Structure 1
């Protein structure tokens, strides 16, 4: 069908440019045209002119649409690159863990732990239990599983990291590092463009691990992602909650900066 339209339009273009010459030759050969024949040729000429103008308009529209598509693809690439850069920067600042929770070189291994404390509920947007689940201490096996999953992020193996982190939080639902697992799972899903799944992961940190040191970062991420999805009201509530509950944190500063840009 497209090929047929192209042929018709090409034929119309040819007629448009050749009609005046054909009309002149016919007039010279016959010594003149009858009024009806001349009127018919003029009508055809006007019709061809209108068709050419229509084709020009369609061409301009298609050019404009192509320009918009290129700009959209460029913006998406820039946004993805920015997300990856942020993720890599945050990953570089994450505390590193030893392969075992035992003592190393005569000193206890530093491990990120969950501080359980009484905190207010996360506004009306997220319904949290009053206390986190009973967390199990680290074991050599659980810590190694977390390390292997987490170390895939700096290598930009996001698909593999998603699988490994998903398995980790499933295998160790009540582990000291489970909250970290859900947070980084959310970050990885964001890089992959899975915004709703990222929201689920960040929300799990808040619902199941209140008081966790990733709670403030998860709240901030919930604010930015919901804003990107178009829910400005909910986004503001999340960001304001970060500032209210964690006023001296880095997440609060980021939330304040982001809030200032929301209309």
Structure 2
């Protein structure tokens, strides 16, 4: 009878400990799952950081009394799970908020870029349509009666202005240092400096087309815009400056082109767009822009009323 009593006591004790063991096992799996999720969130929110999971904020309480009970490990584990869930929810919310803000910024930038592209394409197209090529011959109405074959005429001598222009171009020395790219750009610069703007434009365009990846392409495209601007063609100048900034934002003359684009737009009477260009110069380059660009931009902004 006494043996049966001890056996019954042992069975009752075992039955009482089984739910606690099962609960420990379930909570252990829960903690393991949460720790894996927390490490994944950490890698997303803190890239490059330590992948080691940090210790729980709730440490075990070693004080005697309540913590000495048999279910104290379960209470500690439950508290740690609650802390992990709270931290995971906070980090997940921050990640979703950052992703939303990034998408909104990308949308705004795309809309602004599309607007600038559209506005700059309009004056360029209008300016190109307004140009009549000087090389097109004038058409005349032919007589209805058959005409005799005209006698060959001697070749016409070049007019005085053309000869004078050719003499000016020939007076510009063609550099020959052995650096083909630099020589080509320097020749375009010398033509521009001599105020031979159409010839300078043709030379600078060839530099950009032949060496688009060279740093000289940034110099040449910017100087092309200045040649248009100096010739009194601000619409073509604005397009040239914008293309240099858009295609080569890290080029050595990108800040200059963005500043001069504002100047060209101001000359076109589009002061609001000019002010946008000056603001973008401050936002994108700021103090990294060369001092001469910042000085000229400050004067141009005052003139445009920005």
- TM-score of the two chains, using structure 1 as the length reference: 0.45
Which one has a bigger Cα radius of gyration? 2
Relative contact order (C-alpha < 8 Å, sep 6+): which is higher? 1
- TM-score of the two chains, using structure 2 as the length reference: 0.39
Higher helix share: 2
